[in-house]
């Protein structure tokens, strides 16, 4: 009887955590959509309804081991327009998704780190095998902050992946994910392909 009670309690606890996590992602997406109503948005208010997302999936929320790379030199990251943007490799992430070992590089914008409000922002552009079918062909982005890394561990949540502005409209300089950040698996989490044709 005691074992049954423990199993039921565990199930209820797990179910409650799952619901709580789903709610957290839904709130995150509400904020994301709200940002498109601000000045400079690539979307008109009536176009926000064409944003699409995968259902929240906790298997794409992983603990990643972080390695700092302090001696890296700034480099030019190519953008969709052909213009170059200065970044520096800040570190490397190593993690496991569905039994497969993966790695990604983390970058810091040389321009943004000079601004007090953005000095701790880090950038993870990446491609995966879902690009061009389920997701935007040129890849997607993740943003994190330096303080998100605790004891060389980062909780990497692909449910928060988003499309660059170039997925919605032309005329933007969207960084292209470097070759080191081309994953050979499908990341079926986060933002999907925009549903309206340009």
Q: What is the DSSP string of the chain?
A: -HHHHHHHHHHHHHHHHHHHHHHHHHHHHHHHHHHTTSTT-SS-GGGGGG--BPPP-GGGEEEEEEEE-TTPPPEEEEBTTS-EEEEEEEEEEEEEETTEEEEEEEEEETTGGGSTTTTTEEEEEEB-TTBTTTB-TT-EEEEEEGGG-BTTEEEEEGGG-B--GGGT-SS--PBPPPGGGB-SS----SB---SS--
Instruction: Answer with the residue of higher pLDDT: 175 or 14.
Output: 175
Is pLDDT at 8 greater than 80 in this prediction? Answer: no
Phi, psi (5° rounding) for residue 139? 110, 175
Mean of the pLDDT values across residues 159-182?
Answer: 96
What is the pLDDT of the chain when averaged over all its residues? Answer: 91
**What would the pLDDT profile of 43-67 be if each residue is shown by its tens digit?**
999 999 999 999 999 999 999 999 9
Q: What are residue 68's DSSP bridge partners?
A: 91
- What's the CA gap between 185 and 143, in Å, rounded? 20
Residue 12 has which token pair?
A: 């209820």
Lowest mean per-residue pLDDT among 4-13, 33-42, 129-138:
4-13
Which pLDDT score, from 0 to 100, does residue 146 have? 98
CA distances from 144 to 3, 82, 181 (A): 41, 25, 16
Which pLDDT score, from 0 to 100, does residue 4 have? 46
Which pLDDT score, from 0 to 100, does residue 19 have? 82
Identify the band that residue 18 occupies on the pLDDT scale cut at 50, 70 and 90: low
Nearest residue to 88 via CA among 77, 80, 99 = 77
pTM: 0.89
Half-sphere exposure of residue 147: CA atoms within 13 angstroms, side-chain side: 3
Show Cβ contacts of residue 192 under 8 Å, excluding neighbours closer than 6 positions: 52, 53, 54, 134, 135
Identify the band that residue 3 occupies on the pLDDT scale cut at 50, 70 and 90: very low
Mean of the pLDDT values across residues 140-165?
Answer: 98
Q: Which residue has the tokens 């990341």?
A: 187
Identify the band that residue 197 occupies on the pLDDT scale cut at 50, 70 and 90: confident
Which pLDDT score, from 0 to 100, does residue 12 have? 43
């Amino acid at each position: 009887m005691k074992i049954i009670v423990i199993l039921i309690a565990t199930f209820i606890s797990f179910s409650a955590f799952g619901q709580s996590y789903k709610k957290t992602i839904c709130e995150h997406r509400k904020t994301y959509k709200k940002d498109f109503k601000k000045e400079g948005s690539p979307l008109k208010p009536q176009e926000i309804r064409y944003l699409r997302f995968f259902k929240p999936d906790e298997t794409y929320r992983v603990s990643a081991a972080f390695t700092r790379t302090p001696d890296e030199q700034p480099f030019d990251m190519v953008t969709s327009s052909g213009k170059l943007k200065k970044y520096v490799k800040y570190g490397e992430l190593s993690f496991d998704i569905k039994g497969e070992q993966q790695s990604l590089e983390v970058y810091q914008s040389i321009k943004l780190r000079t601004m007090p409000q953005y000095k701790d922002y880090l950038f993870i552009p990446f491609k995966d095998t879902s690009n061009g079918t389920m997701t935007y062909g040129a890849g997607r982005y993740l943003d994190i902050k330096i303080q998100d890394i605790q004891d060389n561990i980062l909780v990497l949540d692909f449910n928060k992946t988003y499309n660059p502005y170039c997925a919605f409209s032309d005329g933007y300089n969207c960084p292209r994910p470097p070759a080191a950040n081309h994953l050979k698996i499908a990341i079926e989490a986060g933002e999907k392909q925009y549903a309206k044709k340009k």
